[in-house]
Amino acid sequence: MEVTALCVTLEFLIVPSRLQLFEYEPVSFKCTGFDGSTEWSVLRKTETDNSTCGFQKWGVKDESSCTIRYPYEEDSGEYWCEVGGGQKSNSVNITVTAGSVILESPVLPVMEGNDVTMSCRNKTTSSNLKADFYKDGVLIRNSSTGEMTIHSVSKSDEGFYKCNISGAGESAENRLTVRTVRGATRVDAEFLIVPTKLQLYEYEPVSFKCTGFDGSTEWSVLRKTETDNSTCGFQKWGVKDESSCTLRYPYEEDSGEYWCEAGGGQKSNSVNVTVTVSEPVTIDPVMSYFWPVRHVVVGIPYILTTVLLRLIYRDKRRESQRVSEDRRHRVIMDVE
């Protein structure tokens, strides 16, 4: 069964939570949605490189984040997270400016019907300033507070926004993306796997979790395999509790597509899980070539020890025989 390399169970977070930064303003990137045993990396693509945090002289990686302590304009670009197996998070486009003005707007897509506030920020002062806001290059609002709110946002509000503060300068553009809700196509739910991997060995427990629903919403984990299309807890597979659905002893027949659904037909992303019978044993060709040599090398000390002990035993036996012969000759001579 094919395993897709694009899994959207990971989420990429920015601290501080904005897409525009001033030069030398520290920023951290975090990956969420996977267990702590999984190795993760923050990657980026800029005009000059395509590389990984901590390895190509940018970013400092620790157990929980990747930090750029002194970002420059050259650090502007696309950033995202990857974990073992090729799973990728959402990506974000960061702009680092050497200017004095930035636009603060939502990092992630916003839900249709919500309110959205954008702020025009001056590097040299924190007080409210008059600002002009533009969408797709067209002036849409003048603000005396440096902020602009779009009430009940819709798809028509999508576009590129920027702001201008007289005497200070103009910000770069940020893209605003609006996520729609259309009956059964709502995609604000996410489907998580613990441990975060798409290939499992038989009898290796795995749990499925749904996020993005409010606590009052009834949710279910469904699957489609070669033998059935059914729901966790009802067709003799999976144990469902308040927060997850668990396969305690998965078999090869449990391989298939899994996803989450809630009341009203809401659906999450789906993932393809593969369960294999046993762990493959891989022998290094070099090691297989030297395998007989290894046995010889390991056995040499035992062989030498055995030979040495036999030689010592032989010499002692000869010495004992010589002493016995000497004593016998002395007895004969005394008798004579």
DSSP string, 203-258: T--EEEEEESS-TTS-EEEEEE-SS-EEETTTSS--EE-SS-EEESS--GGG-EEE
- Residues 93-106: tens digit of each pLDDT: 899 999 999 999 88
If you search the block for the tokens 């009940």, which residue do you land on? 152
Answer for the pair 241, 233: CB distance below 8 angstroms, yes or no.
no
Whole-angstrom distance, CA of residue 230 vs CA of residue 217 = 20
Overall residue count recorded for the chain in this entry: 336
In the chain the domains, ranked by start, together with CATH numbers, are: 1-98 (2.60.40.10), 100-180 (2.60.40.10), 183-276 (2.60.40.10)
Name the stretches of the chain with pLDDT < 70.
Answer: 1-10, 34-38, 56, 85-86, 126-128, 181-189, 212-217, 234-235, 263-265, 278-302, 306-307, 309, 313, 316-317, 320-336
Q: Is the peptide bond before 16 cis (omega within 30 degrees of 0)?
A: yes
Beta bridge partners, 141, equal: 133
Whole-angstrom distance, CA of residue 104 vs CA of residue 21 = 9
CA 46, 50, 52 angle in degrees (round to 5)? 115
Model pLDDT, residue 5: 33
Whole-angstrom distance, CA of residue 104 vs CA of residue 18 = 6
Beta bridge partners, 101, equal: 122
Model pLDDT, residue 302: 57
Backbone angles phi, psi at 116, to 5 degrees: -125, 130
Model pLDDT, residue 68: 92
CA 260, 266, 269 angle in degrees (round to 5)? 45
- Tell me how far the alpha carbon of residue 291 is from its chain's centroid: 37
